[in-house]
Each structure stands twice: as structure tokens, then as C-alpha cells.
Amino acid sequence: MNLSFFDQFTSPCLLGIPLILLSMLFPALLLPTPDNRWITNRFSTLQLWFSHLIAKQLMMPLNKGGHKWALILTSLMVFLLTINLLGLLPYTFTPTTQLSMNMALAFPLWLATLLTGLRNQPSTSLGHLLPEGTPTPLIPALIMIETTSLLIRPLALGVRLTANLTAGHLLIQLISTATTALLPIIPAVSILTASILLLLTILEVAVAMIQAYVFVLLLSLYLQENI
């Protein structure tokens, strides 16, 4: 029984071929195809408004040098948000519950922000490793601590997204299993559990949106430190 709870996090396969790439590309099918007209329908208008809102929120703390990243960060936000929300549907697979995928997103983008800072302003970027006014005996220890905190940033990004989504999916499956099991035995408790499941599902929708936003927001803050 315990092992079956984690079967939902196993990448689906067809004839031995992993379908995780297909599940990552599927959200793109929900977006309207480009058209020569500025506004085609209400869905396109809503999509443009939402993309503009995301880009505005992400670019607000950045200076003009960071606005070059608007397309990358906005696309990543829409991608993560769509995958997280689609993963809450029944009989679906959520690629963002895989730590390998989240690390594949976090590490290159974090490294790009770091290399951008080292190329444009190496002194300022390296100066973050040693706070101003540090006593001389503490300099080696602080440099090691700051370097470690810098290197674990991509790991923290990936683990945070994976852990929050995995915990939510497990809670939903546990409570739904309890609701089904209690229905023929104690219907009153089963109804109460179903109401808790409904509230938890609403909470997980919020968590899916917040985690996608936090992932991209932290990347934009890392970028702000290096531009």
C-alpha cells in the first residue's frame, strides 16, 4: 500500500519509451497559435493580459539591464504554472515532481545569472562573498559560508518545488483513499473527509501557482544581484 502511493510520481512509459517529454510539451498545445491579427479572440486577449501581468511583476525589481531576461522568465513562469495546474487533474503526471527536471531548470539559469555577474561586474559579484566591515579573523570562515550558500541556491530551488508539489499530491491521495474506504463504514466521517479533501484541493491549486511564482521570482532576485 505504501509503495502504491508513490506510483503517481513514476514517469509513464509506452513500449519502454518515457513519456515525460510528451507531458512537458503538452501544455504548449493549450496556447493559441500565432496569428497575423493583434487580437483574435477573448482567450488570446486574456493570455496577453496575463503574460503582461507576469512580466511586469517579475521585471519590477530589475533595472533595464535585466529586462533582457523578460521573455525567458515569463515563459518559464507560464510553463511551470501550466504544468503544476494540469498535474492536479485526475490520471495525469506532473513532471515538476521530478527533482531531476527541476534541477535541470534551476541549475543552468542560476549559472547564467552568476556568469552574467562575473562578466559584467566581477568585483561586485565577488564582493557578495565577504560583507563589508567583517573582522579579519572571521574572513576565511565567512567566505566559506557565503560560497556554500551561493552554491546550494540551485539545489534549494529544485528541492523546494519538488517537495511542495510531492507533499501536496501525497496528501490528496491519502485523504481521497480514506474517503473511499470510510464511505461504506462511516458515511458521516467520509463526508467530512471529502469536505477536507475539497479544501485541500483548493489549497493545492494555490500552492501550484505560488511555487511557480516563487521559483521564477528567486531567479529574478539572483539576477538582480549580478546586474
Q: Which residue range(s) make up the domain with 97?
A: 54-226
CA atoms within 13 A on the CB side of 94: 29
Q: Which residue in the block uniquely carries the three cell numbers 513514476?
A: 10
Assess contact for 93 and 11: CB atoms under 8 A. Answer: yes
Residue 213 has pLDDT above 70, yes or no: yes
The grid cell for 138 is 572571521
Assess contact for 58 and 220: CB atoms under 8 A. Answer: yes
Task: Give the span between the Cα atoms of 58 and 171, in whole angstroms.
Answer: 31
Q: Is the residue at 220 inside a domain? A: yes
Q: Is the residue at 88 inside a domain? A: yes
Q: Is the residue at 153 inside a domain? A: yes
Task: Give the span between the Cα atoms of 82 and 86, in whole angstroms.
Answer: 6
Strands (E), the chain: 13-14, 17-18
Residue type, 78: V
At 36 the three-state DSSP class reads coil
Residue 181 has pLDDT above 80, yes or no: yes
Confidence label for 32 from pLDDT (cuts 50, 70 and 90)? low
* Residues whose CB is less than 8 angstroms from the CB of residue 94 and which lie 6 or more positions away in sequence, other chains included: 9, 83, 84, 86, 87, 88, 165, 169
Q: Is the residue at 118 inside a domain? A: yes
Residue 11 has pLDDT above 80, yes or no: no
Q: Is the residue at 149 inside a domain? A: yes
Task: Give the span between the Cα atoms of 75 and 65, in whole angstroms.
Answer: 18
Assess contact for 12 and 93: CB atoms under 8 A. Answer: yes
Q: Is the residue at 93 inside a domain? A: yes
Q: How many domains does the chain have?
A: 1
Confidence label for 180 from pLDDT (cuts 50, 70 and 90)? confident
Tens-place pLDDT, residues 65-100: 778 888 888 889 888 998 898 888 887 888 888 888
Assess contact for 217 and 157: CB atoms under 8 A. Answer: no
Any bridge partners for residue 13, and if so which? 18
* Residues whose CB is less than 8 angstroms from the CB of residue 56 and which lie 6 or more positions away in sequence, other chains included: none
Pairing outcome for strands 17-18 and 13-14: antiparallel
- Give percent of the chain with pLDDT exceeding 90: 21
Q: What is the pLDDT of residue 161?
A: 92
Q: Is the residue at 19 inside a domain? A: no
DSSP-assigned states of every residue in 48-114: HHHHHHHHHHHHTTS-GGGGGGHHHHHHHHHHHHHHHHHTTSTT---GGG-HHHHHHHHHHHHHHHH
Residue 64 has pLDDT above 60, yes or no: yes
Q: Is the residue at 189 inside a domain? A: yes
